[in-house]
Amino acid sequence: MSKWDKKAFVEDMRAKCSREVAKVGFRIIEFSVKEADDLSWGRGKEHGTLTFKCQSDVGLVTLFHMSSDGTINLMINYLRGKDLPKQVLRDLVVKLEANFLREYDEELYPSDSFENINELFHTSNQVDKFLYAIEGACYRLRQ
Protein backbone atom coordinates (compact mmCIF):
# COMPACT_ATOMS: atom_id res chain seq x y z
CA MET A 1 0.00 0.00 0.00
CA SER A 2 1.27 3.42 -0.95
CA LYS A 3 2.13 5.75 1.92
CA TRP A 4 2.10 8.82 -0.29
CA ASP A 5 -0.66 10.47 -2.28
CA LYS A 6 -0.95 13.76 -4.14
CA LYS A 7 -1.88 15.80 -1.07
CA ALA A 8 0.90 14.41 1.14
CA PHE A 9 3.44 14.75 -1.68
CA VAL A 10 2.58 18.42 -2.32
CA GLU A 11 2.67 19.25 1.41
CA ASP A 12 6.07 17.58 1.81
CA MET A 13 7.45 19.33 -1.27
CA ARG A 14 6.26 22.72 0.00
CA ALA A 15 7.90 22.06 3.37
CA LYS A 16 11.24 20.86 1.95
CA CYS A 17 11.71 22.94 -1.20
CA SER A 18 11.83 26.55 -2.23
CA ARG A 19 8.66 28.14 -3.52
CA GLU A 20 9.94 28.05 -7.11
CA VAL A 21 10.79 24.33 -6.97
CA ALA A 22 7.41 23.55 -5.40
CA LYS A 23 5.66 25.48 -8.21
CA VAL A 24 7.50 23.44 -10.86
CA GLY A 25 6.75 20.24 -8.95
CA PHE A 26 3.07 21.09 -8.72
CA ARG A 27 2.86 21.73 -12.48
CA ILE A 28 4.49 18.36 -13.13
CA ILE A 29 2.10 16.66 -10.71
CA GLU A 30 -0.97 18.23 -12.33
CA PHE A 31 0.26 17.19 -15.77
CA SER A 32 1.03 13.67 -14.53
CA VAL A 33 -2.41 13.21 -12.99
CA LYS A 34 -3.99 14.05 -16.36
CA GLU A 35 -1.59 12.32 -18.75
CA ALA A 36 -0.02 9.25 -17.10
CA ASP A 37 -1.45 5.85 -17.91
CA ASP A 38 -0.22 4.76 -14.49
CA LEU A 39 0.78 7.19 -11.77
CA SER A 40 2.17 5.65 -8.63
CA TRP A 41 3.15 7.20 -5.31
CA GLY A 42 6.03 5.86 -3.23
CA ARG A 43 6.19 4.21 0.16
CA GLY A 44 9.36 5.85 1.52
CA LYS A 45 9.68 7.37 4.96
CA GLU A 46 11.95 10.35 4.25
CA HIS A 47 10.37 11.68 1.06
CA GLY A 48 7.64 10.84 -1.43
CA THR A 49 8.11 9.71 -4.99
CA LEU A 50 5.90 10.02 -8.02
CA THR A 51 6.39 7.63 -10.94
CA PHE A 52 4.99 8.54 -14.37
CA LYS A 53 4.31 5.52 -16.58
CA CYS A 54 3.01 5.35 -20.12
CA GLN A 55 1.51 2.44 -22.05
CA SER A 56 3.52 1.13 -25.01
CA ASP A 57 3.82 -1.99 -27.15
CA VAL A 58 6.11 -3.49 -24.50
CA GLY A 59 3.76 -2.64 -21.62
CA LEU A 60 3.98 0.18 -19.12
CA VAL A 61 7.25 2.11 -19.27
CA THR A 62 8.48 4.68 -16.77
CA LEU A 63 9.30 8.06 -18.29
CA PHE A 64 10.37 9.84 -15.09
CA HIS A 65 10.39 9.78 -11.30
CA MET A 66 10.02 12.88 -9.17
CA SER A 67 10.64 13.10 -5.43
CA SER A 68 9.15 15.45 -2.89
CA ASP A 69 12.62 16.64 -1.92
CA GLY A 70 12.88 18.51 -5.23
CA THR A 71 14.60 16.08 -7.56
CA ILE A 72 13.63 14.42 -10.82
CA ASN A 73 15.00 11.36 -12.59
CA LEU A 74 14.67 11.31 -16.39
CA MET A 75 14.62 7.62 -17.28
CA ILE A 76 16.57 7.89 -20.54
CA ASN A 77 18.92 4.93 -20.03
CA TYR A 78 16.07 2.81 -18.70
CA LEU A 79 14.16 3.57 -21.90
CA ARG A 80 17.22 2.68 -23.99
CA GLY A 81 17.03 -0.80 -22.50
CA LYS A 82 13.42 -1.27 -23.61
CA ASP A 83 12.39 -2.43 -27.07
CA LEU A 84 10.88 0.93 -28.01
CA PRO A 85 10.80 2.43 -31.48
CA LYS A 86 14.12 4.24 -31.95
CA GLN A 87 12.51 7.36 -33.37
CA VAL A 88 10.41 7.81 -30.21
CA LEU A 89 13.42 7.68 -27.93
CA ARG A 90 15.51 9.81 -30.30
CA ASP A 91 12.80 12.48 -30.44
CA LEU A 92 12.51 12.57 -26.64
CA VAL A 93 16.28 12.80 -26.15
CA VAL A 94 16.66 15.58 -28.73
CA LYS A 95 13.88 17.61 -27.10
CA LEU A 96 15.33 17.14 -23.61
CA GLU A 97 18.83 18.05 -24.81
CA ALA A 98 17.55 21.21 -26.49
CA ASN A 99 15.45 22.17 -23.48
CA PHE A 100 18.06 21.62 -20.77
CA LEU A 101 21.17 22.33 -22.91
CA ARG A 102 22.71 19.03 -21.80
CA GLU A 103 24.00 15.94 -23.54
CA TYR A 104 22.08 12.72 -22.90
CA ASP A 105 24.10 10.37 -25.09
CA GLU A 106 25.18 7.02 -23.67
CA GLU A 107 28.77 8.10 -22.95
CA LEU A 108 28.09 11.43 -21.24
CA TYR A 109 24.94 10.17 -19.48
CA PRO A 110 25.80 6.56 -18.55
CA SER A 111 23.22 6.13 -15.80
CA ASP A 112 19.92 7.65 -14.78
CA SER A 113 20.10 9.67 -11.59
CA PHE A 114 18.01 12.15 -9.65
CA GLU A 115 18.84 15.76 -10.49
CA ASN A 116 17.78 18.89 -8.64
CA ILE A 117 14.74 20.51 -10.20
CA ASN A 118 16.18 23.98 -9.58
CA GLU A 119 19.26 23.05 -11.65
CA LEU A 120 17.20 21.78 -14.61
CA PHE A 121 14.34 24.26 -14.81
CA HIS A 122 15.20 27.94 -14.93
CA THR A 123 12.13 29.28 -16.73
CA SER A 124 8.46 28.47 -17.03
CA ASN A 125 9.06 27.88 -20.72
CA GLN A 126 11.46 25.03 -19.88
CA VAL A 127 8.76 23.36 -17.79
CA ASP A 128 6.31 23.72 -20.69
CA LYS A 129 8.77 22.21 -23.15
CA PHE A 130 9.53 19.31 -20.79
CA LEU A 131 5.83 18.55 -20.40
CA TYR A 132 5.29 18.78 -24.18
CA ALA A 133 8.19 16.37 -24.73
CA ILE A 134 6.69 13.85 -22.28
CA GLU A 135 3.23 14.32 -23.80
CA GLY A 136 4.64 13.73 -27.30
CA ALA A 137 6.51 10.61 -26.20
CA CYS A 138 3.33 9.23 -24.63
CA TYR A 139 1.31 9.93 -27.74
CA ARG A 140 3.81 8.10 -29.93
CA LEU A 141 4.25 5.19 -27.51
CA ARG A 142 0.47 4.61 -27.39
CA GLN A 143 0.15 4.34 -31.20
60-116 pLDDT tens trace: 999 999 999 999 999 999 999 998 999 999 999 999 999 999 999 888 888 889 999
Task: Indicate the DSSP class of residue 105.
Answer: S
| pLDDT above 80 (res 44) | yes
- 51: helix, strand or coil: strand
Q: Check residue 2 and give its pLDDT.
A: 62
Average pLDDT over residues 39-56: 94
Q: Check residue 34 and give its pLDDT.
A: 97
Domain that holds residue 47: 6-142
In a domain, 23, yes or no: yes
Q: Check residue 69 and give its pLDDT.
A: 96
In a domain, 75, yes or no: yes
In a domain, 105, yes or no: yes
In which order are the strands placed within the sheet that holds 115-116? 38-41, 49-56, 59-67, 71-74, 115-116
Give the chain's domain count.
Answer: 1
Task: Give the C-alpha separation, 98 to 139, whole Å.
Answer: 20
Q: Check residue 81 and give its pLDDT.
A: 92
In a domain, 125, yes or no: yes
For 56-62, the CB contacts below 8 A with 24+ separation are 56/82, 56/84, 56/141, 56/142, 57/83, 57/84, 57/141, 58/82, 58/83, 58/84, 61/141
Cα 40–chain centre separation: 12
Banded pLDDT at 11 (limits 50, 70, 90): very high
In a domain, 1, yes or no: no
In a domain, 115, yes or no: yes
Helix (H) or strand (E) holding 52: strand 49-56
Average pLDDT over residues 12-26: 97
Q: Check residue 108 and give its pLDDT.
A: 82
